[in-house]
Structure 1
Amino acid sequence: MQIFFTVNTITELVCLLISIFCLYKDKNVYWKSFIIYLLLVCAVEMAGISLRIQHKNNYALYTCFLVVECTMISCFFYHLYKPYRHKPSQLYSWLGLFISVFILELINNNFGSFAYKTAAFMSVVFVIASLYYYMLILKDEHFRKLESYPPFWVVNGVLFFYFGSTACNVFFDYLLQEKAHSLSLSTRYVTFNILNVLLYSCWSYAFICRYRQRS
């Protein structure tokens, strides 16, 4: 049973619990959807570990979840961009492009491995989207206390995670083989643990800030 409680799963479960406590009564559907998304994240992570224990490939599970991940993060960015007069067509165009790249990669590798190129492409787009959001709030005339502004911390988590993911995907083969000092773990695995902690820590803080704003 202990094998199911890793750095990743514990961080994700804690973030899920915080989201339930802080966002359960939130009237904004975009914020409340984090509860469902994090529930799916935890379920996929546990299922992935279970498959690994049974010596079965779990890449199909994580590949399918890429669509959920991209949709969730993209829709939240749309929610953040909406006050700046961004149109729904821009969101639909991006999701259409993502699905096209996703399907082409699956066909190209005969559905036989994780969609690394699509994940890398998505990561680059989310890094750009994060930086673009920073530019929007810097130009905005409304004053915000960024240290307690929930969307800012959600985007911070996204930027940290996907910027690191981009680097990991670029150097995937090297990081998969390289060991982290004396540990019997790949450097890529350790790196993603750190990125996950950063992502879900930022999100947890954002949920707490959101809760305090409503109280």
Structure 2
Amino acid sequence: MSAYITVNTTGEALCFVVSLFCLYKDKEPAWRLFICFLLLTVVVEVCGIYLRTELHRPNFMIYNVFLLVECLMQSYFFYYLYKTYHNTQKLLIGWLTIFACFYFAELLKSHFGAYVSASSTTLSVALILASVYFYYLLLKEEKSRPLFTYAPFWWVNGTICFYFAGIACNLFFSYLVQDRTPGIGHSARYIVFSIINIILYLSWSYAFICRYRQRILSSSLD
């Protein structure tokens, strides 16, 4: 049972609980979808551990399928954020079409026998650029926003930190997986990914709490 209780599964589960409490009554589908997305994230993580530790089988295929869900969810949420400024529907459709072609081409090239690492990196780069563009749109706004309590800002903060650090880890993959840290028993890559997962889910949880407080405040003013 201890194999299932990791930094990643704990962070994902706690973030799911926060999303369930804060977002289940939210009026925006883009926010409510995070409840389903985080629940699926926990399920995929547990299934991945089960396949690896109990069945001793490779678990890359479950993560390959989940990457599509991840791409759809993250892309749709950025589309929702951009709607405040201008319509990016054509950009969203174009990006999803390009990613799908790239993703299935990589699957066919590997004969469905490996993790789609190139597609994962492509998604990470796209989400980093999308985050930077969101910051740019914020800077161009004429009105000032209280960023400390602005939910989209904290969601984007967590997202860009996670995917940027993830790409950096992948670039130094061979070096980071070589040695195990004394007293911990895990590679440096595992430790780094655990840290960025904590940053991601703390940022997202705080974003959900900010969103909840905004909804409660709006309801009290009506």
TM band (smaller chain): over 0.9
Q: What SS class does the counterpart of residue 83 from structure 2 fall into?
A: helix
| Alpha-carbon displacement from aligned partner over 1:31-83 (angstroms, at most 9, x marks no partner) | 00000000000000010111111211101011110000011000000001112
Judging changes above 3 Å, is the alpha-carbon distance between structure 1 residues 117 and 89 closer, same or farther for their aligned structure 2 residues?
A: same
* 1:20-169 mapped onto 2 (5 Å cutoff): 20-53=20-53, 54-169=55-170
Q: Percent identity?
A: 47
SS at match of 1:57: coil
Give the whole-Å Cα distance in 2 for the aligned partners of 1:84 and 1:90. Answer: 14
Runs of 4+ in 1 over 3 A off after TM superposition: 180-183
- 1:138-185 CA-to-partner distances (Å, cap 9, x unmatched) read 111122000110000000010000001111222223323343345332
Q: TM-score, normalised by structure 1?
A: 0.96
Instruction: Report the RMSD for the aligned CA atoms in angstroms.
Output: 1.2
* CA distance in 2 between partners of 1:102 and 1:174 (Å): 27
TM-score norm. by structure 2 comes to: 0.93
**Residues 150 and 209 in structure 1, CA contact (< 8 A), matched pair in contact too:** yes
Shift of 1:125: 1.0
Mapped to 2, the partners of 1:119 and 1:214 lie a distance apart of 34
Structure 2: how far apart are the matches of 1:171 and 1:185? 16
Say if 2:206 is the partner of 1:205. yes
Query: How many corresponding residue pairs?
Result: 215
Q: CA deviation at 1:111?
A: 1.4
Measure the CA separation in 2 of the matches of 1:59 and 1:75. 24
Structure 2 SS opposite 1:83: coil
CA separation in 2, counterparts of 1:165 and 1:70? Answer: 15
Q: 2:9 aligned with 1:9, yes or no?
A: yes
Answer with 106-115 or 122-131: which moved more.
106-115
Do 1:120 and 1:170's aligned partners in 2 also have CA atoms closer than 8 Å?
A: no
